[in-house]
Amino acid sequence: MRTHFALSQTELADFLGISRALLANVEAGRRTLPYSALQRLFVLLRWMPAPGGEGPAAPEFTAEPTAAPDLPDRDELSYRRLYVQAAIAKIKLELMGRGRRQQTYARRHWALQVLRTGLATTTAPTAPALLKMWQIAAPHPEEDMLWLRLLAKDAADAPEPLTATERALRTARLRGLEAERTALDELLGAAPAPA
């Protein structure tokens, strides 16, 4: 009966007023239908074909569509392609930008450590070549440390580079979008132009 009417277990169970699990057990031969469900089953049984019922025989159904297939809507495909193209561009920019930022990010954090120590030092250098530069330099420890705190804040506010997992996920998403764009291009080539 389920096959004849193309019903799922859940759909038939809902009609019979029982749970899907009970219907599965009935179909497996482990349980019997309650009387009220059996009465409901006879309602559908009547519409089965003869000899058990008085319903029509089911026609032959094939996997191939019998009517002309629906043609895709070119405008919808074009809109989706534009959306996909924009998403591809966004991910590419993010991967490229965050990739370049990787070096800057690492260098900035290293520089903050070096400068934090260096700018706090007010003693003259010991290297003779640097001593001459030091004499004309004008260190201002308070201003220098304020500048360093602002630099550290900017570094903390900057977006972190992508982790290896984030990069892999974005790359996978990019490949999926590129495949979708290719499929849309093919469909747009096959779809008729709007009238």
Between 115 and 176, the more confident residue is: 176
Q: Is the pLDDT of residue 43 over 50?
A: yes
C-beta contacts of 93-100 below 8 A and 24+ residues apart: 94/162, 94/170, 95/162, 95/167, 95/170, 95/171, 95/174, 98/159, 98/161, 98/162, 98/167, 99/161, 99/162
Q: Is the pLDDT of residue 5 over 80?
A: yes
Separation of alpha carbons 135 and 127, rounded Å: 12
pLDDT tens track for 105-150: 777 778 888 888 777 776 777 777 777 776 666 677 788 888 888 8
Secondary structure, 3-state, 29-64:
CCCCCCHHHHHHHHHHHCCCECCCCCECCCCCCCCC
Separation of alpha carbons 116 and 33, rounded Å: 80
Separation of alpha carbons 120 and 145, rounded Å: 7
pLDDT tens track for 99-108: 666 667 777 7
Q: What is the mean pLDDT of the chain?
A: 82
Name every residue whose Cβ is closer than 8 Å to that of residue 21 and which is 6 or more positions away in sequence: none
Residue bearing tokens 């490949």: 175
Token digits for 139? 């260190």
- With bands split at pLDDT 50, 70 and 90, how would you rate the model's confidence at 195? very low
Separation of alpha carbons 37 and 48, rounded Å: 17
CA atoms within 13 A on the CB side of 100: 5
